[in-house]
Chain A
């Protein structure tokens, strides 16, 4: 037999840890939300805010300050200069909030300012992206729609799959869709909409006693909130690739949660554990080595991507890194305690009673 990290007879009282876990989660979420409120919402990259970004590679190291000074003459509004990728790549990113200047004009201005102010340094414009305000707004709406549909479909799938109550799942879908349509007609902003979507989903899960779905979705919201919060605390920008990372995190976090939930259901049927809390604890412990191994291998490759993948993919890898970590934590410390709080679903009790009879 190969190695073992988690001994088979491990019995950690995860459920007993739930108060501390909730405190940790609450603090992390609050920190993130505070940062978002103080900074006036997420910091959008050009995909969402519109503007121009230019990536320049120098043949030797140039200080960001020097570049900033060299570009003073360009008179571009909202000019931001930052180093990009790894230090030895000598790459910088220049951002401006305008998208009315033509790309040719930007190229010319940067070329001429660098030629006069940074003599003896060779440079190459590697990438230039311009997103107009209209497209930016569209991409923002699309991203939010994507998150909304992801939550919706996943909620339906889990409630249908675990509770065998596709009808209740359909009611929830209808309720969510109806609620959002009404708010949309009322002209609510997209951030209000997404917030409303989440509250409606959680509320409906609660009301319809879709307990597994409730646990999974709260864990999912938890993961996304914390990842977004940490990104905001770090001053990172949100763009399309971060949305892709968030959706991947959603998928991954659920993957973890479902494996624990699957085991809980199996153990309820097999009448393992004296109480529901006991059953949950046993289930988490039984799947613990799997959880740690999979998260471990995934983190291994994401770290490889983060360290070696290059500047363009850097923030994407960072989001995945945070998300995979938080997702693993939440499937143990958030999803299961919530399931305990609301109780096993009705069908489980029915099965248990039928078996007992």
Chain B
């Protein structure tokens, strides 16, 4: 045995041992044994299509986020201007990301403009119109830097909120990530109840406390006719059979307090075992809550979540200490979910579900079983065929084919790649294509043998001539796979990864490892002995 061969055998053995080490932790029998402690932790993780679970793509409504921010900026501007002795009428948000504000006295123009420049540099003045009656109408628009900043802030906050909510829901290994175009991708493996998850994730959870206008005419309001500064919405009542009816209710538009001051939310049960949600406010919230309850005794205060009134209790007394409760009518699960969204904070803007894929766990298991059956049957066919067609050389090809599959699986585990259903298809396809390299080499060796070369010389010639061809041929497939990875999502990426991995391992095994076996085989034999190929 020469030095080069010894070195190549050592390298191959090292790769096999490493492959085994990375593959073993995935085996269920090994996972619970004492051996597991000495092995790497990386397992092949299964994709949602195999494990079952939910894949969601959410779109954050950035227009709405911008409108909300502009509306708040407008209110701030009005308040600050008032402190400085200027009267600005209630600003309005206009379509196309603009706010309109009216300054009552045109003499104060310079003062207001310098105030905007100093304290509201997020806004730029688009136009100013001086009316004959001395009022000045300003149109403000957010600056482009501010828009960029707000987009980033809104996305980050949305992701943080969603992560908080999912964490409280208790899903193992959730995957939440930002995507292009204000999108968020969420993967929840093993999640059994998709509807509930979607409800929790998608709820804006914008909590507001608003006064009820009991003087309003409900019948007129139901038709949409309300006094200025009032709005009509619905209040839900849960019937004993679990269904709901909704009744119209008129509220004052202005929110007295919002959910941003909430510290904590919990589910509790009253003496009739009916669930309710308790809230506690932070210091500032508690002070505001104490003031508004004190000012509005004997009036009804509506607790509004995402535009729907949960309950509208009458304020009996000034409430200090920053505690409140929402005693709406809901089921235990609903109360629990409400507490989750309140505790996790509100989404900065509404989200829409753009894409949703739910795979039940039974289908996932079925896919794995069928994929494995197809892989086993396909490989056995190929193994038998190669053995029959090439005899000894076929056996060599078979050995490296098995090694090849082991290395692909180990590679998936080592790189933390996810195995998906198309990924299984990728492995199966690789099994078929992996023998290609061997076939190219073997056919070449046969040709050289026919030309009258000895076994040893034919092997040398066959390998040297076939190697470049194999490289050329496989690079195109790798190019296709890389493009698939770049453009694909989820399962398709899994396919691309296994395909690429399969090509790399098959080149290693077919060119490098088989050569060792041939060299070992011929080294002990006479130079002119025939080769079984």
Contact = CB atoms under 8 A, between A and B. Distances in A.
A298 interface: yes
A154 B479 contact: yes
B334 interface: no
B360 A244 contact: no
A300 B447 contact: no
A189 B478 CA distance: 29
Contact of B360 (A126, A135, A312, A320): A126
Contacts of B431: 301
Interface string B189-201: 0000011001100
A2 B198 contact: no
A1 B532 contact: yes
B381 A300 contact: yes
Contact of A1 (B354, B435, B446, B476): B446
Interface residues of B, number: 84
A127 B472 contact: no
B67 interface: no
Given A104-B195, A135-B57, A254-B476, A309 B360 contact: no
Nearest to B481: A251
B388 A3 contact: yes
Interface in A121-161: 124-132, 134-135, 138-139, 142-143, 145-146, 149-150, 153-154, 157-158, 161
A310 B377 CA distance: 14
Given A304-B377, A310-B370, A316 B422 contact: yes
Contacts of B360: 124-127
Given A248-B429, A300-B381, A301-B432, A308 B373 contact: yes
A150 B195 contact: no
Interface stretch (A112-120, A255-263, A335-343): A255-263
A330 interface: no
Contacts of A145: 487
A309 B389 contact: no
Nearest to B440: A290
A300 B390 contact: no
Interface string B416-441: 00000110110011011101100110
A297 B385 contact: yes
Contact of B476 (A125, A139, A258, A309): A258
A3 B115 CA distance: 92
Given A145-B487, A300-B432, A135 B355 contact: yes
Given A134-B59, A143-B487, A313-B421, A304 B492 contact: no
Nearest to A147: B483
Contact of A262 (B377, B433, B468): B468
B472 A301 contact: no
Contacts, number: 241
B476 A146 contact: no
B41 interface: no
A44 interface: no
A192 interface: no
Contacts of A150: 479-480, 483
Interface stretch (B20-28, B32-40, B361-369): B361-369
A179 to B, nearest CB: 20
A251 B477 contact: yes
B257 to A, nearest CB: 31
Interface in B489-533: 489, 491-492, 495-496, 499, 530, 532-533
Contact of A312 (B367, B440, B473): B367
B195 to A, nearest CB: 4
Contacts of A308: 370, 373-374, 377
Contacts of B436: 255, 290, 294, 297-298
Contacts of A201: none
Given A126-B359, A127-B359, A255-B436, A244 B422 contact: yes
Nearest to B381: A300
Contacts of A286: 447
A8 interface: yes
B56 to A, nearest CB: 9
Contact of B378 (A8, A128, A135, A304): A304
B220 interface: no
7 contacts: A130-B357, A250-B480, A254-B473, A255-B477, A256-B473, A300-B378, A309-B370
